[in-house]
Amino acid sequence: MIYRLKPIVNSVEVPDLSLLQFADLLRDDDYSLILRQPRTNESLSARWKTVKCDLAPEYIEGKKIPDVSYWGSYLFMTQRAYEAFGGPLKEEGEFLPLTVAGQPMYIYIPLTFGQEDTTRTVKHFEDGYECGLEQLVFVDDDVASRWIFKSKLYGYHALFSTDTFKRQFEEAGFTGLEFDADLAGVF
């Protein structure tokens, strides 16, 4: 089974690091790299340097830090989550290490697309214009061995996972993500 990864309702991004600060750290002066990267899957690791930042204020005030959470169109992981997922996910993306409030954490950049089954994926139309999908189906043989991937048809900022990732996430008791079986849902 495939799931669309979603942030927990009312969640807050963990690091006190904006995407504009992220662009500055990558020496992306015109923001073109961070705007196109989810679509082009360009590697960011060669531009990355050691980064230290604070926690978002909500976490300083006592909110529990999730193990895996959304950060922009990427995932943010604690050291514990990195230890669980780092090996398998390195095959499908890259990790950018950073220190957040003195703790090692990681931004995970997915670099793979799942192949959509275009014979079973249904586009949504309103007033004759294409606007989203009614149904999204991936090619089983293509995604069966993956853990996390993106869809060109759904949009580059959404992330999808297989049962393998979901099972590992749940068995470890991790927090921070929801797994939605409605792949094409707007919410």
Write the pLDDT tens digit of every residue in 17-54. 998 999 999 999 999 999 999 999 999 999 998 899 99
**How many beta carbons lie within 10 A of that of residue 120, not counting itself?**
11
Kindly indicate the confidence band of residue 132, based on its pLDDT and cuts at 50, 70 and 90.
Answer: confident
DSSP assignment of 43-79: --GGG----EEPBPHHHHTTPPPPSEEEETTEEEEEH
Is 142's pLDDT higher than 80?
A: yes
- For residue 110, which of 97, 94, 123 has the smallest C-alpha distance? 94
Is 172's pLDDT higher than 90?
A: yes
pLDDT digits (tens, 9 = 90+) for 94-107: 999 999 999 999 99
Q: What is the mean pLDDT of residues 132-154?
A: 93
In a domain, 187, yes or no: no
Is 175's pLDDT higher than 90?
A: yes
Q: How many domains does the chain have?
A: 1
In a domain, 45, yes or no: yes
Could you give the strand order of the β-sheet that contains 74-78, starting from the edge strand earlier in sequence? 52-53, 93-100, 103-110, 74-78, 68-71
In a domain, 141, yes or no: yes
Supply the DSSP symbol for 84.
H
Element (H, E) at 8: none
Q: What is the mean pLDDT of residues 145-173?
A: 94
Is 186's pLDDT higher than 80?
A: no
In a domain, 147, yes or no: yes
Range of the domain at 60: 1-182
In a domain, 150, yes or no: yes
Q: What is the pLDDT of residue 121?
A: 86
Q: What is the pLDDT of residue 130?
A: 79
Q: What is the pLDDT of residue 143?
A: 96
Q: To the nearest whole number, what is the mean pLDDT of the chain?
A: 93
At a CB cut-off of 8 Å and minimum separation 6, what does 168 contact? 84, 85
Task: Tell me how far apart the alpha carbons of residues 35 and 159 are, in angstroms, rounded to a whole number.
Answer: 16
In a domain, 121, yes or no: yes
Q: What is the pLDDT of residue 50?
A: 82
Q: What is the mean pLDDT of residues 104-129?
A: 92
- For residue 160, which of 43, 66, 71, 73 has the smallest C-alpha distance? 73
